[in-house]
Structure 1
Amino acid sequence: MMTTYKASQPAPALKDLTDQVRFHGTEGKIWLEEQRMLLVQVSMMASCRRELIEMLGIERAKGFFLRLGYQSGLKDAELARKLRPHGSDVEMFFTGPQLHSLKGMVNVLPQEIDIDLDNGHFYADIEWQDSFEVENCASEHLHSEQPVCWMLLGYAISYSSFFLGRQILYKEVSCRGCGDEKCRIIGKPAEQWDDADTFMRYFQSDPIIDELQVLQVQVANMRQRLQQAAGQFYGIGESAVYRKTCSLIDKVAAGKASVLLLGETGVGKEVIARSLHLRSERAGGPFVALNCAAIPPDLIEAELFGVEKGAYTGAQQSRMGRFERAHNGTLFLDEIIELTPRAQASLLRVLQEQELERVGDSQTRRVNVRVIAATHENLENAVKTGRFRADLFYRLNVFPVNIPALRDRREDIPLLIEHFLDKLHESYGKKTLGLSDRALQACLHYDWPGNIRELENLMERGVIITDVNQSIAVDSLFPNDPPPSPSVGLTSDGRLASQTGKQAQAWIDQIFDAGINLASVEDQLMQAALDRSQQNVSEAARLLGMTRPALAYRLKKGPAEEAPGEH
C-alpha cells in the first residue's frame, strides 16, 4: 500500500530518538541505543576534507566521503526498525532523516515522500538546511562547481536502499556549496536514473594503496633503469684507464667543440659518441651516424651533403644528406680517414661556415651540427703522407680522445661478459650458466685484436653452441687454439711457476743478484699498482690480491725499515 508524506504534514516526534542518546562521561563513551558515537568538531572534519582532497584529488575524496556516509546509513537503517516497529512506513523511514538531524549533520526537511514497501515503489524530495559539509567548504574556502554534500548523500542512499530492500539512488539537484539557493535531493530507484551505473562506481572499493604500491614498483624499476643507464652511459667499464676516458668526455660534452675519437677497431667509439651527444645541449636533437668506409667514394658527398634531382645518373629525386638530417644535433663520422680529398674539402667548409650546398645545386643551406669524428688509423701520419688534409685535421683535432683497447683494461672483461650474456640470454630465449673458469681465464689472457666487438661476437657464439643450464666451455669460444695461459703464475701452494720452467727462477735470481730485499720489492709492487690504477687504492689492492684495508695500512706505515743487523 502506498504511503505518502507531504511537507504540510507534521513529522514524527523526536523524543523516542533523543531518549536513546546516553552520555557516560566517566567512561568516555556516548551511546545511541547500542551504537557508540563520537562528538567531533565540525572544523576538524573541514580540515580532514581539505587534506583528503589535496592528497587524493576531488573524485577520490568524493568517493571516500560517499562510502563513509554509506556505512553510517546502514547502521541507522538497522536501528530504525527497532526504534519504531509499529509505526507506518513513513514514520519508520523518518528515523533516518531525524537521526541525521539529531547528530548535528544537517537539518532534514522532507518535502514529499512516497513509499510502497510491497511493490518497492519509492520517491523522495528532501531539502537540507545547514549542511555541515557546506559549512566545511566555506570555512576552508574550497570552491566547487559540483554539489559538495557527499557524506550526507551516501547516508541517504544506503539508508533508503536498506529500508526499501532495493537500490535507491539520490541526486543532489541543487547545493548551496556550489552557489545554489538551497540544498535539495531527489531519491528514486536506481533504474529510473540514466547514469546510475556511472554514479554507483563511487561505492566500489577504491584501494589506492594498491595503486600506490604499483606506482612505487614502477618508480623503483625506473630509478633502477636510470641508475643502470647512468652507470652504462659510456658502455661498461670500471677500470681507471676507461674512467679517465669518460672523464675527458664529460669535460667536452657540454661545449660545442669538435671531438676526435681515436682507437682500434671495435673499442666502442660510436657508444662514446652517442653518450657525448646525450650529455650535450643537443641531447634533444638527432644523432646521425655514418661509417665513411661503407660508402662508395663517388657517393660519399651526396650521402653527406645531399643531392638534387638529376645531379647524376640515378638521382631521380632530391634528398637531404646526413648533415641536414643532423641539424641541431650531432653527426658522428666513423673512419673519417676514408673520405675522398674532395669530400674532405667540402667537410672543412661546412665545419667552418656552417653551410653547405647539395650535389648538383647552387643553393646554400645553413646547418647547425656538431661533428664527432673517429678513426682507427693515425691521422697525423696520414697528414704527413698526404692522405688527409692538414687543415681539416687541425679543425677536427680540437679535442682528441683515445679510447683504450680491451687488452689495456682487462679488469673490465668480466663486466662486459656479464653484460653481453644477459642480453644474449634474453635474445635467444635460453639461459646458460655463464663461462667456465677455464673459459674466463682464456678471455682474460686473450689479446682481443677485435676488442669489444670481437668479445660480443664470441659470447654470442658461446650462447648458441652451449646447451641450456650448461657452462660455456673454452672450446665453444676458441674452437681452434685457446689463448695460452700466462707464462708466469702461481702453483697451488703459492710458489711462482712458468710454462718454461725457468723464467720464474730467472726473476728470483735477478732479484737476489741485485741485492734487493723483500721490503723494497713490496714497496715497488705497491707503487706500481697505484700508478697502474691511477692512485685508486681499491683497484691497486685488487691488482695485488689483497684487501683495501691491508694495502692502506701498509701505505700508511711507509717504506719498511731495515731490520737490525741488515745492511
Structure 2
Amino acid sequence: MITTYKASQHPPSLKDLSDQVRFLGSEGKIWLDEQRMLLIQVSMMASCRRELIEMLGVERAKGFFMRLGYQSGLKDAELARKLRPQGSDVEMFFTGPQLHSLKGMVNVRPQTIDIDLENGQFYADIEWQDSFEVENCQTENLHSDQPVCWMLLGYAISYSSFFLGRQIIYKEVSCRGCGDAHCRIIGKPAEQWDDAEEVMRYFQSDPIIDELQALQVQVANMRQRLQIEAGKFYGIGQSAVYRRTCALIDKVALGKASVLLLGETGVGKEVIARSLHLRSERAGGPFVALNCAAIPPDLIEAELFGVEKGAYTGAQQSRMGRFERANGGSLFLDEIVELTPRAQATLLRVLQEEELERVGDSQTRKVDVRVITATHEDLENAVKQGRFRADLFYRLNVFPVRIPALRERREDIPLLIEHFLEKLHASYKKKTLGLSDRALQVCLHYDWPGNIRELENLMERGVIITDENQSITVDALFPHSPQLAESIGLASDGRLVKSTLASGQDWIDTIIDSGIGLDGVEDALIQAAMERSQQNVSEAARLLGMTRPALAYRLKKSP
C-alpha cells in the first residue's frame, strides 16, 4: 500500500529527537543518543570546501562531500529505526530530514512523498531551505554553474536507500547556489533514472595518489620532449661565445654535412654532438657514440664496421659494428686522430660510398649514417706529421666548430654549478647549501684545465665531503691545493679578483704596489667580513678581531 505525504500535512514532532541531544561540557562531548557529535563553525566548513576544491578540483571535491554525507545518512538511518520503531512509513522516513534540521544543516520541507515499502516504490519531491552548503559557497564566493548541496545529497541518497532496502537516487533539480530561487531535490529508484551510473560513480573510492604518480611519469616524459623541442639539450650556458657555438650547430643541423668538433678535453663535445643529432631530421634515428682512443688499435675496425664469425681469434659470432647500429641516425667518433691508418682508409671509403664490409666478410652493406667527429688535437698538424690522412681530413672538415673552453665562458660557471649540484643532491639524497661565497670566487677564477668534466667531478667531491645543510667550502673542492684558497686578492677599487699572492711579505708588497689606500683595504675587509657573516655585526667583528662597538662605529662612518 502506498503511503502519501503532502506539503499541507504536519510533519511528526521533533521533541523525541531533540530530547536525545546531550551536552556534556565537563567531558568535552556532545551526544545524539549513542552517537558522539561535533559542534563546529559553518565558516570552518566553508574554508574546508574552498581548500578541497583548489586542491582536488570540483569533481573530486564533490565526490568527497557526497561520500561524507552518505556515511552520515547511514548512521542516521540506523538511529531512526531505534528511536521510532513503531512509527508509520512516513514518520520513519521523516526522521532523516528532521535529524538533518536538528543538526543545523538544512531546513527540510517535503512537498510530496509516496512510499510503498512492500513493493519498493518511492517518490519524493523535497525543498531545502537555508542549506549550509549554499551559505558556504556564498561566504567563500565559490561561484558554480551546477548545484552545490553535495553533502546533503549524499545524505538523502544513503538514508532513503537504507530505509527502503533498494537503491534510491536523488538529484538536485534546482539550487540557490547556482542562481535558482530554491533548492529542490527529486528522489526515485535508480532504475527510473537514465544516468544512475553517473551519479553513483561519486560514491566510489577515488584515491588521488595513483593518478599523481602516473602524472609524475607523464610530466617527466613531457619535460624530456619539451627539452628536446626547446633546444635545451645543448647543455648549460648563456655566454655569448657559447651561444655563437650553438648558433653554428643550428645552421648545419638540418643537413647531412660532416661536422668536426674541435676543443679541449672535457668541454662537452659529445653533448654538442648529441644536440646536433636531436636538432636534425635524423632525431628519430639512433645516436651512437664511440671514443676511438678507448678501443685497442687491432679491434677498432671490427668495432666500427662489424665482424663476421671466425674472422679472428675470439670472434665467436657475427656482430654489427657502430656504423650499422647507427644506420638511419648519427655516429659520433671522438678522438678521431687515434684511428689506425687502415681504419682511416676504410672510414674514408664508407663516407664516400655509403657502404661497408664487415671484417672477415665480402658482402657489401649499405649504410645511411651522418658522421660527427671530434678531436682535441690540431688535425692539420697531424696531417703534416703524416699521422692522419689528408683526404680524410678534408672529408671530415666540411663544417668545423670549435667548442670554447670553460675559462673562456666564465659567466656560465654559476649556471653549471647549479645544474650539477641539483643532480648530485638528488643522486646522493642529501642537500647542501651550495658553494660558499669564497668557493664560488675561487671557481670563477680557476682556469679549469679539465673543463666541464673537471667542474662536475669537483662538485661531486664537494657534495660527498660536505655535511647536510652546510656550505661547500674551498677546502672541500681543492683539498690538495691550499694555494687556491689564497688566490683571491683585492683590486684597487676594493673588488675581489684573482691574485698570484704567495705567503709572507708578498701579499703586503702587492697591496702597496697596487696603490690601494689604507681606507680602501679597511673598507674591503669590513665588507668581506659582513658578507661572510651574513650581515651579522657581532660575527663580523669576531672575524676581524675587534669589538662589536668598534665595528659598528666604522660601519656607521663608512659611505
In the superposition, the TM-score normalised over structure 1's length comes to 0.55
Q: Which residue of 2 aligns with 1:294?
A: 294
The answer as to 2:320 corresponding to 1:324 is no
Matches within 5 A, 1:74-473: 89=88, 113-114=117-118, 124=120, 157-158=157-158, 160-161=160-161, 163=163, 168-170=165-167, 202-203=202-203, 232-468=232-468, 469-473=470-474
Q: Which residue of 1 aligns with 2:31?
A: none
Distance 1:365 1:478 in 2: 54
Once the two structures are superposed, what CA deviation does each residue of 1:131-162 show, in whole Å capped at 9, x if it has no partner? xxxxxxxxxxxxxxxxxxxxxx9899545335
Structure 1 pair 401–204 and aligned structure 2 pair: CA distance change class (3 A): same
Once the two structures are superposed, what CA deviation does each residue of 1:386-405 show, in whole Å capped at 9, x if it has no partner? 22222222222222110011
Once the two structures are superposed, what CA deviation does each residue of 1:438-490 show, in whole Å capped at 9, x if it has no partner? 44333333322222222222333334444552542247515146359779951
Structure 1 pair 321–456 and aligned structure 2 pair: CA distance change class (3 A): same
Gaps of 5+ in 1: 20-54, 97-106, 115-122, 129-152, 173-182, 188-196, 509-567
Shift of 1:410: 1.9
Shift of 1:507: 11
Q: Residue type matched to 1:278 in 2?
A: L
Structure 1 pair 89–271 and aligned structure 2 pair: CA distance change class (3 A): same
Residue 236 of structure 2 aligns to a residue whose secondary structure is: coil
Structure 1 pair 349–213 and aligned structure 2 pair: CA distance change class (3 A): closer
The answer to whether the Cα contact below 8 Å between 1:288 and 1:325 also exists between their aligned partners in 2 is: yes
Distance 1:290 1:437 in 2: 39
Gaps of 5+ in 2: 12-56, 96-111, 125-152, 170-187, 516-559
Distance 1:349 1:440 in 2: 50
Distance 1:323 1:238 in 2: 34
Once the two structures are superposed, what CA deviation does each residue of 1:390-424 show, in whole Å capped at 9, x if it has no partner? 22222222221100111211222232233333333
Structure 1 pair 378–498 and aligned structure 2 pair: CA distance change class (3 A): closer
Matches within 5 A, 1:20-99: 89=88
Q: Residue type matched to 2:234 in 1?
A: Y
Structure 1 pair 364–61 and aligned structure 2 pair: CA distance change class (3 A): farther
Distance 1:200 1:309 in 2: 66
Residue 419 of structure 1 aligns to a residue whose secondary structure is: helix
Once the two structures are superposed, what CA deviation does each residue of 1:200-244 show, in whole Å capped at 9, x if it has no partner? 663257699x99999999998888887888585222222111111
Once the two structures are superposed, what CA deviation does each residue of 1:287-312 show, in whole Å capped at 9, x if it has no partner? 21100111111111111111111111
Structure 1 pair 232–495 and aligned structure 2 pair: CA distance change class (3 A): closer
Structure 1 pair 309–491 and aligned structure 2 pair: CA distance change class (3 A): same
Residue 449 of structure 2 aligns to a residue whose secondary structure is: coil
Residue 370 of structure 2 aligns to a residue whose secondary structure is: strand
Q: Which residue of 2 aligns with 1:176?
A: none
The answer as to 2:474 corresponding to 1:477 is no
Residue 308 of structure 1 aligns to a residue whose secondary structure is: coil
Structure 1 pair 507–406 and aligned structure 2 pair: CA distance change class (3 A): same
Shift of 1:286: 1.9
The CA RMSD measured in Å over matched residues stands at 5.5
Distance 1:68 1:184 in 2: 21
Structure 1 pair 482–242 and aligned structure 2 pair: CA distance change class (3 A): farther
Residue 169 of structure 1 aligns to a residue whose secondary structure is: coil
Matches within 5 A, 1:504-515: none
Shift of 1:246: 1.1
Q: Residue type matched to 1:330 in 2?
A: S
The answer to whether the Cα contact below 8 Å between 1:126 and 1:185 also exists between their aligned partners in 2 is: no
Question: Which stretch of structure 1 is more off in the superposition, 467-476 or 86-95?
Answer: 86-95
Shift of 1:380: 1.9
Q: Residue type matched to 2:318 in 1?
A: S
In the superposition, the TM-score normalised over structure 2's length comes to 0.56
Q: Which residue of 2 aligns with 1:118?
A: none
